[in-house]
Amino acid sequence: MTTLAARMAPLLPPRLVAAAARAVYPRFEPELARIADLCPPGCGTAVDVGGWYGPWTRRLAFRSRRVVTIEPVPHLARLLTATTPPNVRVVQAAAADRPGTARLWLPPRDTGMRGVSSLVRRDIHAHAVDVRLIALDDLGLREVGFIKIDVDGSELAVLRGATALLARDRPSLFVELESRIQPIAPVVTYLGLLGYAGWVLPTDTWVPLSAFPLEVHQAATAHVAGHGLVRRVLPFRTGGPRYVNSVLFLPDGHRPYGAPMHDDGLHATARSEREPPP
């Protein structure tokens, strides 16, 4: 089903659509409003994999010295290049586990404005464009402190293409995971082997992923996921659960900066090493 936002977007100037998306997106994805919990202070390089209209890129640009945004849709990559701050580098490509080319699938009559393009074809997709593939390990990135990944199904390939970077810099990771697209367990297992543990934000408090049945939650709130962006950000929308589809992965026993602190041994020590002084 085509949403209201998707029908209206082609009728409006692209820069206006981008500005509107950036303005309302923290209501759609509340973790963006809590970016201080995710992206460490003094971050050298932040990476936005799946830039879309740039809601994450823009905020990361004011929190990091450098931002590298990966966006495969050509006109969105051009828009980001023209409208983002000067410390942002836009790479027109899709992140994967190896260089090459692939088909990027989009819904009918969609040119990328819905933000559901993917290398993994689903029943919502109808046409495709050929795009370049890159691996994050091949981009020569340095001092990476944060990576956001929103790729609708190829998360594991993105992470495999960044294995050396993850081992070297140990960045925080914010990964969109949806069981209706791909199983969640392979990503969680892979990152667990690399020493990462997940956190989710179902309300206003961070909860360990190990204590939150994400797939069960998503099955129970799948109807919310079908609502368009406009419907999910309306200010008078009340009641009902939030559909949680993103996980913050932190390495080596670290916890989100906004998580409550208690005397809990190694977790407290690890967090105090990362947390800025009051």
What's the pLDDT tens digit per position in 182-223?
A: 899 999 999 999 999 999 999 889 999 999 999 999 999 888
Cα–Cα dist 111/138, whole Å = 28
In this prediction, residue 222 carries a pLDDT of 83
User: Does the pLDDT at position 237 exceed 60?
Assistant: no
Cα–Cα dist 214/178, whole Å = 9
In this prediction, residue 232 carries a pLDDT of 45
pTM for the whole structure: 0.82
Q: DSSP string covering 182-201, please?
A: S-SHHHHHHHHHTTEEEEE-
In this prediction, residue 227 carries a pLDDT of 54
User: Beta 100-106 vs 127-134: how paired, if at all?
Assistant: antiparallel
Torsion of CA 3, 7, 12, 14, to 10 degrees: 70
Highest average pLDDT, of 9-18, 122-131, 160-169, comes from 160-169
User: Does the pLDDT at position 174 exceed 50?
Assistant: yes
What's the pLDDT tens digit per position in 45-87?
A: 999 999 998 999 999 999 999 999 999 999 999 999 999 999 9
Domain ranges of the chain: 4-96+139-274
SS3 75: helix
User: Does the pLDDT at position 25 exceed 70?
Assistant: no
User: Does the pLDDT at position 274 exceed 50?
Assistant: no
> Taking the domain 4-96+139-274, which CATH number applies?
3.40.50.150
Write the CB contacts of 232 (distance below 8 Å, at least 6 apart in sequence): 27, 28, 224
